[in-house]
Chain A
Amino acid sequence: MHDTATTFLELGAVLFVLGVLGHFALRVGISPIPLYLIGGLAFGHGGILPLGASEDFIEIGAEIGVILLLLTLGLEYTAEELLHGLRKQAPAGVLDLTLNAAPGVVAAFVLGWGPLAAVVMGGVTAISSSGIIAKVLGDLGRIGNRETPVVLSVLVLEDLAMAVYLPVVTALLAHHTVARGSLTVAVALGALVAVLYVALRHSDKVTLLVFSPNSDRNDEVLLLRSLGLTLLVAGVAQRMQVSAAVGAFLVGIALSGPVAEGAHEVLMPLRDLFAAVFFVFFGLQTDPVEIPPVLLAASLLALAGVATKVATGWWAARRAGIATMGRYRAGAALVARGEFSIVIAGLAVAAGVNPQLGPLAACYVLLMAVLGPLAARFVEPVVRTVRRWSQARRSPDHAPARGA
């Protein structure tokens, strides 16, 4: 009895504080993700108010959070959109992933963490936060802008790359033998191709598993069936050593049409809850005293991360025939990193790759989740000011030579 009461008190306090932090983030106009991480740091080991009783619940909740993050991500796309993006923006996607993985890979080797950590850190720095970026584009009224499809296609490719990357990393982290690891990767890729095929050709049949068009829509039934199916598939994927998150992502892609929209709608609140729990869990696992030693590395990574994403967006937008200002907007829009960097780092932390990797990733995401929206908001005035300044320097006519 006593334990239950403590768990309720702790959980209630955590959720309430997250709510207050989220409110504050909305007021200031930034993403709540960095604040949730800070909340987790405060509640975790070595924090101001360590939690003990509710840690088991938070751990399971965090895993459900990852599954729901990936499921709702998959629900946002149809298989057609994924393949269309792949065909149209493949060169931009390749540039995006190599250029943006580079700082993480280099950092891991410079710090002497070895190749496994390099693969993880490459993923952490490569992947933008589609959640933050979609919200920022909406808030700034840039959904209709002509560079926005470029930004979205890059995000689509990153998400598709995640579906390949996650099982590979899971296999590597599990210290499989090469044969075992390649088998896992082959299974994951096979599943991805099979799901894309089914989603393209037989989406209506998959959809029937979750919703029968004969009956009126019932939110409760839709919620239970879509969540149940997702957890089942995630469980099977986990058993096959693929990655529960990838399974959830594939379920999201396979569902389409009004059912996907309906499922998205009913799952949203649940995802928001468990995703917040996930960010807190990651913060919980990080001891705040480990942050200062990695602060310099994280800041350098953040600078490199801004530069490489701006370059990627600039290049991709130029390919699509967008003018200079639009190229900078596209670049700045891509800067934000968030949920998926933490998902990747979370896997590595759970596998015990390097004790400093968690704090570094947390610090990096703290910086990038704040810098991203700021970069998107202020890129235009900054570019304009720099241009005016350089024009003034180039033409010395304005110098008061005549009067002197």
Chain B
Amino acid sequence: MDVEETPLPGIGLRHDFSTRSGRRLGVVSRHDGRRDLVIYDAEDPDASRESITLTPEEGDVLSELLGAPHIVEKLADISRAFAGLVGEQIELTAGSPYADRTLGDTQARTRTGASIVAVVRDHQVLASPRPDFQFHPGDVVVVVGTPENTAAVAQLLRAG
């Protein structure tokens, strides 16, 4: 399926695609976090017949209704494919020695062998954080590795 991506200067980004039944659908992701669900006119494919603006929460609900079971299925597939690896979510508390320090400072991969693949902050997933990424108290750190490795990262983030 071809998803077209179009930048909208000053507004955000638009993604749109055609369904098998021949209708065109699009989503406008605005800079301020709102999403527009766009349903194009069947006769005039350039025009949107309906355009519904969703708040970030409403967008989350809609995406959950549409796709979440699918994502869970995919995650299950991934863990089957890489047997022996686990993904852990570790909350970084205010008492952590790494609160307000960078990912590089933890040297997590060198010291434990597990990888920090994402950080969830304010319900937003920040994927593939770089070494200069700065942790804040309350961040949820997503770690992938063997059960021992990820437990070592949890210990590292808690007590240094």
Q: How far is the CA of A213 from the CA of B134 in the complex (A)?
A: 9
Residues of B within 8 A of A191 (CB): none
Residues of A within 8 A of B40 (CB): 144, 146
Q: Contact: A329 with B47, CB < 8 Å?
A: yes
Interface assignment of A142: CB less than 8 Å from any CB of chain B = yes
Interface assignment of B2: CB less than 8 Å from any CB of chain A = no
Interface size on A, residues (CB 8 A): 29
Q: Contact: B44 with A326, CB < 8 Å?
A: yes
Q: Contact: B50 with A141, CB < 8 Å?
A: yes
Q: Contact: A323 with B46, CB < 8 Å?
A: yes
Q: How far is the CA of A146 from the CA of B7 in the complex (A)?
A: 11
1/0 per position for A106-146, CB-CB distance to B under 8 A? 00000000000000000000000010001000000111111
Q: How far is the CA of A145 from the CA of B38 in the complex (A)?
A: 8
- Pick out which of these stretches binds chain B: A8-16, A147-155, A170-178, A270-278: A147-155
| Of A81, A144, A155, the contact of B48 (CB 8 Å cutoff) | A144
Determine the residue in chain A with the shortest Cβ distance to B26: A144
Interface assignment of A297: CB less than 8 Å from any CB of chain B = no
Determine the residue in chain B with the shortest Cβ distance to A142: B48
Using A141-B48, A143-B51, A145-B48 as known contacts, say yes or no to A85 and B9 having CB atoms under 8 A apart. yes
Q: Contact: A326 with B14, CB < 8 Å?
A: no
Interface assignment of B91: CB less than 8 Å from any CB of chain A = no
Residues of B within 8 A of A142 (CB): 47-48, 51
Q: How far is the CA of A333 from the CA of B122 in the complex (A)?
A: 38
Q: Contact: B7 with A81, CB < 8 Å?
A: yes
Determine the residue in chain A with the shortest Cβ distance to B38: A144
Residues of A within 8 A of B28 (CB): 143-144
Using A213-B134, A214-B100, A322-B46 as known contacts, say yes or no to A141 and B8 having CB atoms under 8 A apart. no
| Of B16, B31, B44, B134, the contact of A144 (CB 8 Å cutoff) | B16
Q: Which of B10, B11, B16, B36 has the most CB of A within 10 A?
A: B10
Residues of A within 8 A of B14 (CB): 143-144, 149
Q: How far is the CA of A145 from the CA of B40 in the complex (A)?
A: 8
Q: Contact: B10 with A77, CB < 8 Å?
A: yes
Q: Contact: A326 with B47, CB < 8 Å?
A: yes
Determine the residue in chain B with the shortest Cβ distance to A75: B10
Residues of A within 8 A of B16 (CB): 144, 146
Q: Contact: A146 with B9, CB < 8 Å?
A: no
1/0 per position for A73-103, CB-CB distance to B under 8 A? 0001100011011000000000000000000
Using A144-B16, A144-B36, A214-B100 as known contacts, say yes or no to A325 and B47 having CB atoms under 8 A apart. yes
1/0 per position for B58-96, CB-CB distance to A under 8 A? 000000000000000000000000000000000000000
Interface assignment of B6: CB less than 8 Å from any CB of chain A = yes
Q: How far is the CA of A261 from the CA of B30 in the complex (A)?
A: 11
User: Which positions 192-212 of chain A face chain B at CB distance < 8 Å?
Assistant: none
Q: How far is the CA of A145 from the CA of B31 in the complex (A)?
A: 18
Q: Contact: A84 with B7, CB < 8 Å?
A: yes
Determine the residue in chain A with the shortest Cβ distance to B44: A325
Interface assignment of A332: CB less than 8 Å from any CB of chain B = no
Q: Contact: A325 with B9, CB < 8 Å?
A: no
Residues of B within 8 A of A214 (CB): 100, 134
B18 to chain A, nearest CB (A): 12
B111 to chain A, nearest CB (A): 25
Residues of A within 8 A of B9 (CB): 76-77, 81-82, 84-85, 149, 152-153, 155-156
List A residues at the B interface (Cβ < 8 Å): 76-77, 81-82, 84-85, 130, 134, 141-149, 152-153, 155-156, 213-214, 261, 322-323, 325-326, 329
For this complex, 23 residue pairs linking A to B, each with C-beta atoms less than 8 Å apart, are A76-B10, A81-B7, A85-B9, A130-B10, A141-B48, A142-B51, A143-B14, A143-B36, A143-B38, A143-B48, A144-B14, A144-B28, A146-B40, A146-B45, A153-B9, A155-B10, A214-B100, A261-B32, A323-B44, A323-B45, A323-B46, A326-B44, A326-B47
List B residues at the A interface (Cβ < 8 Å): 6-11, 14, 16, 26, 28, 31-32, 36, 38, 40, 44-48, 50-51, 100, 134
